[in-house]
């Protein structure tokens, strides 16, 4: 094995360890379970699929504290294998026993790629989504479980994911940039020269995870990608891309794009499927939205076309981290492009 390949393998092992260690603290689990939109949508989806769950075998990929596994048992599952790689599996075991479910829920410590189940399963449930859907997501693990353990005709909850983009105006950023023009009136020192530096610092190439208000959305959203969990492959996840076209609602200044996702659960007894949405025009979730700042704001008027292509792919430095590349044109402006990523703060803390 070459030194380069060996180093890359060691980096992957370290990245996996850091990822799983981040789920060993109570804070992240409190945040996820307290997210009512997330947790209640999963509970409702599992109960609405009770006919497919009752008397069946379920695999919960990345079970965490075990709450989804318990929902499945409450829906009548005969057996639930709750697979969890980090030490929170110990708390999941305690929670399962505390709810008198240990006869039907088996907590298994390990990654789904390394554990050995005693049987194939009828249902896979997993809350695998990350920021911008794919950042630090477990979707590859879900696909591995699908290919190895799911029976033909089995169901996956959720079964579909979709990605959307829309232009937005972030007024907070504009206020922060304008701040430097107010310093002279307050303190007698003209610091307007700081505005250019401030713009470079604030409107950088980071994927900013923050809450966008519906009032700051400047057009109808455009869907640029759809993932069918029954058929998508790990290879396809290495480049998730699509084109988009939006038309602005009215006169404003676009200073960012907002990327968000939805996941859909099948509902056999309902005419409409159940959708968990992270849209800025829906109730807030802990995922919020992914905000991608332009280098400078662009003025738009009613029906100004905003077109382009989005490509999402794993970072070369850390395969669990996502990069987003956007090629875009706003009105008559020439085509521009910008690549965004979420900073890997953990790498700076490591020797």
Helix-, strand-, coil-residue percentages of the chain, each rounded to 5: 30, 35, 35
Tokens, residue 42? 């999963």
Residue 309 designated active-site: no
Which residues are CB-neighbours of 149 under 8 A, at least 6 positions away?
59, 117, 120, 121, 124
Q: Which of 106, 136, 226, 284 is catalytic?
A: 136
Residue 215 designated active-site: no
Q: Which of 90, 119, 127, 316 is catalytic?
A: 127
CA 239 to chain CA mean position, Å? 15
CB 127, CB 156: distance < 8 Å: no
Cα–Cα distance, 60 to 151 (Å, whole number): 15
Tell the burial category of 314 from Cβ atoms under 10 Å away from its Cβ (0-12, 13-18, 19+). middle
In this structure, how many other beta carbons lie within 10 angstroms of the beta carbon of residue 220?
11
Tokens, residue 150? 């799911």
Catalytic residues, by residue number, are 127, 136
């Amino acid at each position: 094995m070459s030194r380069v390949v060996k180093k890359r393998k060691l980096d992957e092992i370290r990245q996996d360890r850091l990822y799983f260690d981040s789920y060993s603290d109570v804070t992240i689990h409190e945040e996820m379970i307290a997210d009512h939109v997330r947790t209640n949508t999963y509970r409702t989806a599992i109960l609405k699929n009770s006919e497919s769950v009752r008397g069946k075998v379920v695999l919960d990929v990345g079970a965490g504290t075990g709450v989804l596994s318990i929902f499945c048992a409450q829906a009548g599952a005969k057996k639930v294998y709750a697979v969890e790689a980090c030490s929170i599996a110990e708390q999941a075991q305690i929670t399962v026993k505390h709810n008198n479910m240990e006869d039907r829920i088996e907590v298994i410590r390990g990654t789904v790629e390394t554990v050995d189940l005693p049987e194939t399963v009828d249902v896979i449930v997993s809350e695998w989504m990350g920021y911008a859907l794919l950042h630090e997501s477990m979707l590859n693990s879900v696909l591995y479980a699908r290919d190895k353990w799911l029976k033909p005709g089995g169901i996956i909850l959720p079964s579909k994911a979709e990605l959307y983009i829309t232009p937005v105006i972030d007024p907070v950023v504009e206020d922060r940039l304008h701040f430097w023009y107010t310093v002279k009136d307050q303190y007698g020192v003209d610091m307007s020269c700081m505005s250019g530096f401030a713009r470079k610092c604030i409107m950088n190439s980071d994927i900013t995870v923050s809450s966008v208000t519906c009032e700051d959305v400047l057009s109808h959203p455009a869907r640029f990608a759809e993932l069918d969990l029954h058929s998508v492959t790990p290879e396809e996840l290495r480049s998730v891309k699509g084109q988009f076209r939006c038309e602005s609602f009215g006169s404003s200044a676009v200073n960012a794009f907002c990327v968000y996702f939805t996941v859909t659960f099948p509902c056999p007894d309902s005419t409409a499927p159940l959708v968990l949405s992270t849209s800025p025009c829906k109730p807030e979730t802990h995922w919020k939205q992914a905000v991608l700042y332009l280098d400078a704001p662009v003025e738009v008027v009613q029906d100004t076309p905003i077109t382009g292509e989005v490509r999402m792919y794993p970072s070369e430095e850390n395969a669990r981290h996502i990069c987003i590349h956007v090629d875009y044109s706003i009105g008559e402006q020439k085509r521009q492009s910008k690549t965004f990523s979420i900073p890997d703060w953990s790498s700076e803390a490591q020797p």
